């Protein structure tokens, strides 16, 4: 059955959700208070880099089933309203800033009575602290026939359309899973997702708080997994081990799994960093701060890896003042133009603060990087031009074009063939053979001499093993 849906908030999550819902056969109106963004979307232009999104957007617009507006009155008659607003970190602390979400719910409440009597579902998709849905439901309570559900979104940037249309699972948070009116709400959301559910996608119904916690727990777990391997990486540097060997071997244990064990300069983006901080703030508000205290360490490990890149640069170049350093990558991860809390830009800023002359290159994120770094660093789209004259090259975002760089041709561009591989995607032996001095985070070659006693034979075989490492196997392609 075709439903009319509204999606309030057309950032990454909302815009992708709106366009994807037309693929499921519904009529969709996307709403945002940002008129420029709405105009771009209405013209079929993606306001961010996301593979496959523009096609879905244009298909939706051409079908006549997708449109965008800034006017709440236009969405009043929708059957289901999705809330896809951002919940960034608060300026004054670790907690989540819910002001956009709250403003949207208030604005929606103003127009909803237009449908008095009809069934209306409001579905929160934003990542929020536990307790938010119940509070928002109370604000909407007075509106007859209205129900609120919380349905967290797990999409990854770079795979957003695929993750939205083929999720691993659907999570429905309701005010009371055994209440009869919850059944009605569940049935209505099932209609929205009918084509996804036909494929036997697991659908889990639970209370609001559990649904809210599913999302933040999932992100906190992923962040912890990355920081775990990065902490091991520090041990590898201290002992002369190679973290890619360790990750590969522990990842073969099914209980651990190989995904999210890619050691390097760590996690960034608009979700993981702010979500672990908001989770800690929320635990504190609920009087169980110590339960999530370890996330402080997860955050600290992540920050230390960024600092480590700068230390390595100093070890290789000595004083960084006036030295020419090229940073490969600005986005927080490949196939994205998102620079929010990007490790690459953070490191570029630290190198700059140490006096280096920094050039940053990235296939998609330079425009956004300009907003963060201003004119302080040189931004160069063309990789070959960016490499020209570099005394040190630092790979911080593993775009395929950087993974596939040819060390021989790259060495003819740079002033000095020195490389720091901050993502462990280059084959050190191959680069060394082409004349490069290369250091990688957490790999034996990073450390001149182990700081603990290691039997000679072991040290020799650790070196020899490096030649056998196939980075494509050790570093599984982005999942």
Q: Based on CB atoms, which residue is closest to ligand UDX, 308 or 323?
A: 308
> Of 10, 22, 219, 445, which one interacts with ligand UDX (CB under 6 A)?
219
| Least Cβ distance, residue 215 to ligand UDX (angstroms) | 7
| Least Cβ distance, residue 266 to ligand UDX (angstroms) | 5
- 15-28 per-residue burial string, b: 16 or more CB within 10 A, e: under 16: bbbbbbbbbbebbb
Q: Based on CB atoms, which residue is closest to ligand UDX, 120 or 302?
A: 302
Decide if residue 344 touches ligand UDX (CB under 6 A).
no
> Of 272, 301, 320, 395, which one interacts with ligand UDX (CB under 6 A)?
272
| Least Cβ distance, residue 442 to ligand UDX (angstroms) | 12
Catalytic residue chosen out of the listed positions 57, 214, 223, 271: 271
| Least Cβ distance, residue 478 to ligand UDX (angstroms) | 7
Decide if residue 335 touches ligand UDX (CB under 6 A).
no
Q: Which two tokens stand for residue 395?
A: 């790979």
Decide if residue 438 touches ligand UDX (CB under 6 A).
no
Decide if residue 72 touches ligand UDX (CB under 6 A).
no
Decide if residue 154 touches ligand UDX (CB under 6 A).
yes
Decide if residue 157 touches ligand UDX (CB under 6 A).
yes
Decide if residue 333 touches ligand UDX (CB under 6 A).
yes
> Of 37, 262, 277, 403, which one interacts with ligand UDX (CB under 6 A)?
262
Decide if residue 403 touches ligand UDX (CB under 6 A).
no
> Of 129, 207, 266, 428, which one interacts with ligand UDX (CB under 6 A)?
266
Decide if residue 327 touches ligand UDX (CB under 6 A).
no
Decide if residue 441 touches ligand UDX (CB under 6 A).
no
> Of 264, 329, 363, 422, which one interacts with ligand UDX (CB under 6 A)?
264
Question: Which window, 86-94, 134-142, 264-272, 278-286, contacts ligand UDX (CB under 6 A)?
Answer: 264-272
| Least Cβ distance, residue 167 to ligand UDX (angstroms) | 10
Question: Is 236 an annotated catalytic residue?
Answer: no
> Of 260, 279, 431, 436, which one interacts with ligand UDX (CB under 6 A)?
260
> Of 268, 363, 407, 442, which one interacts with ligand UDX (CB under 6 A)?
268
Return residues touching ligand UDX (CB under 6 A).
154-157, 219, 222, 226, 260-262, 264, 266-269, 271-272, 332-333
């Amino acid at each position: 059955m075709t439903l009319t849906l509204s999606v309030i908030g057309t950032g990454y999550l909302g815009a992708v959700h709106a366009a994807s819902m037309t693929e499921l056969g519904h009529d969709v109106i996307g709403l945002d208070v940002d008129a420029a963004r709405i105009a771009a979307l209405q013209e079929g232009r993606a306001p961010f880099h996301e593979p496959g999104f523009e096609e879905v957007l244009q298909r939706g617009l051409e079908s006549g089933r997708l449109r965008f507006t800034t006017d709440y009155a236009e969405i009043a008659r929708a059957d289901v309203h999705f809330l896809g607003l951002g919940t960034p970190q608060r300026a004054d602390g670790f907690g989540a800033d819910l002001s956009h979400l709250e403003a949207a719910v208030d604005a929606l409440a103003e127009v909803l009575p237009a449908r008095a009597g009809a069934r209306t579902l409001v579905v929160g998709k934003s990542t929020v602290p536990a307790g938010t849905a119940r509070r928002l439901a109370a604000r909407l309570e007075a509106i007859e026939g209205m129900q609120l559900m919380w349905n967290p979104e797990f999409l990854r940037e770079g795979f957003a359309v695929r993750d939205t249309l083929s999720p691993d699972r659907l999570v429905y948070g309701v005010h009371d899973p055994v209440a009869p009116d919850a059944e009605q709400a569940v049935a209505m959301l099932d209609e929205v997702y009918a084509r996804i559910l036909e494929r036997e996608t697991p659908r889990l119904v639970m209370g609001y708080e559990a649904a809210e916690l599913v999302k933040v727990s999932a992100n906190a777990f992923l962040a912890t997994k990355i920081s775990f391997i990065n902490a091991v990486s520090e041990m590898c540097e201290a002992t002369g081990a190679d973290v890619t060997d360790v990750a590969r071997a522990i990842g073969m244990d099914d209980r651990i799994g190989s995904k999210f064990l890619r050691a390097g300069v760590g996690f960034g983006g608009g979700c993981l960093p702010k979500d672990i901080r908001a989770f800690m703030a929320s635990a504190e508000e609920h009087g169980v701060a110590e339960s999530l205290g370890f996330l402080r360490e997860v955050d600290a490990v992540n920050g230390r890896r960024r600092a480590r890149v700068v230390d390595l640069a100093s070890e290789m170049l000595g004083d960084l003042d006036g030295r020419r350093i090229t940073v490969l990558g600005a986005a927080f991860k490949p196939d994205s133009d998102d620079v929010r809390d990007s490790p690459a830009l953070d490191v570029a800023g630290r190198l700059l603060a140490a006096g280096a002359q920094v050039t940053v290159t990235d296939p998609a994120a330079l425009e956004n990087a300009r907003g963060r770094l201003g004119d302080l660093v040189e931004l160069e789209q063309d990789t070959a031009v960016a490499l020209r004259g570099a005394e040190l090259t630092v790979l911080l975002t593993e775009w395929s074009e950087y993974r596939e760089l040819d060390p021989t041709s790259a060495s003819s561009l740079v002033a000095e063939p020195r490389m720091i591989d901050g993502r462990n995607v280059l084959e050190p032996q191959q680069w060394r053979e082409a004349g490069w001095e290369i250091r990688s985070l957490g790999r034996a070659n990073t450390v001149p001499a182990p700081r603990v006693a290691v039997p000679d034979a072991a040290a020799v075989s650790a070196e020899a093993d490096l030649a056998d490492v196939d980075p494509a196997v050790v570093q599984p392609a982005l999942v």
